[in-house]
Chain A
Amino acid sequence: MVEIKTADELNKKFLREGMWPTIFCNGCGHGVVLEYTFWALEELGLDMDKVIFASGIGCSSRLPGYINADGLHTTHGRAIAFATGIKAANPDFHVIIFTGDGDCAGIGGNHFIHAARRNIDMTVIMINNFIYGMTGGQLAPTAPLGSIATTAPYGNIEHPFDISNLACALGANYVARWGVSHPYQPIKSIKEGLEKRGFSLLEFLAPCPTAYGRRNKLGDIKKHWAWYDDNTILIEDYEKIMKYGTEEEKAQVKDKIQLGVFQDIQKPGFFESYEKLVDRLREKETKAKEGKK
């Protein structure tokens, strides 16, 4: 196998170039997340014939179309349900879901909740841009308070969903959140998520300059990307300040969005438990038959 060293070589291997140009706007974060995913796949050396992508509706859900691999572009919010079926039929495949905040936390919220709770073996990459980008900038359930959207012209008054926190509460095996401006940590996290049996969530904060940045006056693309650095903090730093910091320091970081690995546990995944259940019952049945003899 040829060792891949540059992004160009990486793209040649993983991108379905016939689908170019992409639908993404200038300054969009989706391509970066795709690139991180490619690096993770490459570094893990996964057999791409055993990796399947699924997605729902929205800008992020267009990603599987650009990947030179099997993909299922499904209906709004339902990618996780489709992916559950894929995994059930192909337990040794890696199933990766690309989804957005509207798709995963909005219309598809229930599928997300139950897949995480049942610890279904899949890797969900949720790209959170705080907005329904494709339909023109309606308020997403993850949008920070005060956000301006076409459906919230005077500022959002609905409390946002913290989807990573929710996944932790549901007992997902692996939960991490990163911004698109972190070059290395996300790749490591995607790798860890892919290697984990059970449910993993990778949440990426990504700018949508067209539908979100513009309305919220976040400035040009450079400033918009910088917003994510100014308004986020690593979990470790946050905890340190909350424990040892001054009141002033605490006040400064209180409302920042935390980034890092939130949860890394090893509960048995659904299919793992299911296989054990089947084995146990088969064994019982065999014993009963032997007893009759």
Chain B
Amino acid sequence: MTEVMIDTGNYIAAKAAVMCKPDVVAAYPITPQTTLVEGIAKYLATGEYKGEYICVESEHSAMAACIGASATGVRTFTGTSSHGLLLMHEMLHWAALARLPVIMCNINRVVGPGWNIWADENDSISQRDTGWIQFYCSSNQEIFDTIIQSFKLGEHEKISLPVMISYNAFILSHTSMPVFVPNQKDVDAFLPNRAPKWKLDPDNPITFGNIILPAEYEKVRLDMQKSHEYAKKLILEISKEWKQRFGRYHGDLLEFYKCDGADYILLSMGAIGAESKAAIDNLRKEGLKFGLARVRCFRPFPKEEILKLSKKADLIVIDRNISPGMEGALFTEVKASLYDNTDAKVCGFIAGLGGKDVPFGDIEKMCKKVINGKARHIEWFGLEGV
């Protein structure tokens, strides 16, 4: 029987992770991730979580421990945030290239210096090229559902890649919302046991991580790329299956909201994505034809779908991140998806860096600036005193 659990994003994530029965969780505390791994520890104490729980001495070690465990063929989970994720960077590449499906929550938090613990997506955006599949969630229910879906996705034999589920610090991690929690039997029926093609096994000795020559290495990279391409299809299938089994759907690579007949389509991620829906509702009430395509999956990037959108509407992108010397990362990717194939105009906004709130009213203002022709190609929205 489905029950409703009212709790913070972190405790909801802990519940979802435990329901996937990982064999090993290795973690190191960092604000605002701490309550996530504390939640798992609590389930360990009650006996609901039956795996191994390792307290390590750094995030680098947390990911290394997950990689080691995953190489033996078992299911692994961890969580981190901001500088913890950055410290893992070497190991993130390693997990992906070793094709080990470690599943991890990253709570999007500002990168220092200028120490700050609030929401900002630069931590995970800067891990874009590590080979990890990346989801950005916009509600606690989506966090719950995406974690379980991610185990199925990452561990699929044609994928074998680690998956990062990102959600905004405090806005989601420490905010309580009601979440539907399915019963364990139904989760078990959805999520098969991990069955890797190869693993560390005393009866069949193999070595991970040997030296390979350039020609072979290139193939390793190509295979990874193919898996990312295949993941685009599989994410669709898994989201569909989830909808059939559990009746909930948050979109697949993208979530479309009132895009039919829209003249302008807004693209955003994470918590701004949820706030954007309220903005779209208000704009529609005023007769302005806006829609939202919330980017749920940043890697693999849904370039084909975005190109399709651009045939019908002009695009507006809001980034809670900045690639200094260029622009917001999503803005760049969206434009790259359209290259030479569309006449759509694209406007980009940088908003909410350092955890600054981006309420729906501000999103409406951004949209109206675009309609009124007052928006520049790229602009920083709502800077104070500038």
Q: A residues touching B (Cβ–Cβ < 8 Å)?
A: 57, 73-77, 106-107, 109, 132, 134-136, 138-139, 141, 150-151, 153
Contact = CB atoms under 8 A, between A and B. Distances in A.
Contacts of B339: none
B55 A73 contact: no
B193 interface: no
A97 B287 CA distance: 61
B57 A150 contact: no
Per CB-CB distance, the 5 closest pairs between chain A and chain B, nearest first, are A135-B29, A107-B58, A151-B55, A106-B57, A138-B29
B24 to A, nearest CB: 16
Contacts of A57: 83
A75 B34 contact: no
B38 A109 contact: no
B83 A75 contact: yes
Nearest to A140: B57
A132 B28 CA distance: 11
User: Is chain B's interface secondary structure helix, strand, loop, or mixed overall?
Assistant: loop
B41 interface: yes
Contacts of B30: 135
A76 B31 CA distance: 12
B55 A138 contact: yes
Interface residues of B, number: 16
Contacts of B55: 138-139, 151
Nearest to A74: B113
22 contacts: A73-B113, A75-B83, A75-B87, A75-B112, A76-B83, A77-B58, A106-B57, A106-B58, A107-B58, A109-B57, A134-B31, A135-B29, A135-B30, A135-B34, A138-B29, A139-B55, A141-B57, A150-B38, A150-B41, A151-B41, A151-B55, A153-B45
B31 A135 contact: yes
A135 B37 CA distance: 12
Given A76-B83, A138-B29, 7 more contacts: A57-B83, A73-B113, A107-B57, A136-B38, A150-B38, A151-B55, A153-B45
Interface in B1-41: 28-31, 34, 38, 41
A108 B74 CA distance: 30
A75 B30 CA distance: 12
A57 B112 CA distance: 11
B83 to A, nearest CB: 6
B208 interface: no
Nearest to A62: B115
A237 B30 CA distance: 41
Nearest to B38: A150
A99 to B, nearest CB: 15
B29 to A, nearest CB: 4
A70 B83 CA distance: 23
A136 B34 contact: yes
B29 A136 contact: yes
Contacts of B38: 136, 150
Contacts of A132: 29
A72 to B, nearest CB: 9
Contacts of B87: 75-76
A109 B30 CA distance: 18
A150 B55 CA distance: 11
Interface string B287-312: 00000000000000000000000000
Interface in B92-122: 112-113, 115
A199 B41 CA distance: 39
A73 B29 contact: no
A139 B53 CA distance: 14
A138 B87 CA distance: 19
Contacts of A138: 29, 55
Contacts of A74: 113
Interface in B29-73: 29-31, 34, 38, 41, 45, 55, 57-58
